[in-house]
Amino acid sequence: MKRPVIGICTALERARWSVWDQEAVLLSLGYVTAVQRAGGLALLLPPDAQLVEDPEQALELIDGLVLAGGADIDPDAYGHERHLETVETMPERDQFEIALARAAIERDLPVLGICRGMQLINVALGGTLVQHLPEHVGHQEHRRVLGSFDGADHDVILTEGSLAASAAGEVAHATKSHHHQGVERLGEGLVVSGISTMDDLPEAIELPDKQFVLGVQWHPEADESSTVVGALVQAAARAASTLTRE
């Protein structure tokens, strides 16, 4: 049986391997493994200036899209001044992923945004971000240890009957968190379908009028027991099957 093809957006980072120290296309293996474990075929999508103008070239190759975690989104993308804690932004990645997200949503392609990816969906649809949560919520619990998920577990409450609850398989859901930014004003058409038990911060957003557009502020790819990435793969398989029959 043909596996659904899941495009996963990557970062551009300085990396070292063997004797090399160069710019590289980079993605945590956890994303790829989660897609493969769920029965999908992972296809990495690095920033591409030509695809900003014509994202359909990429979308025609895939059955579902994952917007992965990573660096802060440049506040120019949503018309805000830069906060001192907003660092190491990558405008070329932002532009690429915003174009892909908008076109995928218009195409009704299944889309899952993870951490930064959830924020990217919100920005792509006209929303804004809180640039440094500790000033907003009064604590550092959403990113306890830099570069690690150690001690990062916290609970979210998902709206009963929502896509988020269906994807997670439960309403009260334990998650792994690593972020210092979050959703401020919601983008057009989006609804909040999950909140943190620590401070009511939006932790899941979705588009009810699309078959599968979901953003989660946590990292399901870091949790082997999570069914969230699997739900995206299943939605992509259904979408691909429908297109094949047509």
CA distance 246 to 241: 9
User: Is-contact 58 10, C-beta < 8 A?
Assistant: no
CA distance 126 to 93: 17
Residue 106: φ, ψ to 5°: -60, -35
Q: What residues act catalytically?
A: 115, 219, 221
| SS3 category, 108 | coil
User: Is-contact 211 108, C-beta < 8 A?
Assistant: yes
Structure tokens given for 61: 């190759």
- The residues with which 14 forms a beta bridge, in sequence order, are 23
CA distance 215 to 125: 12
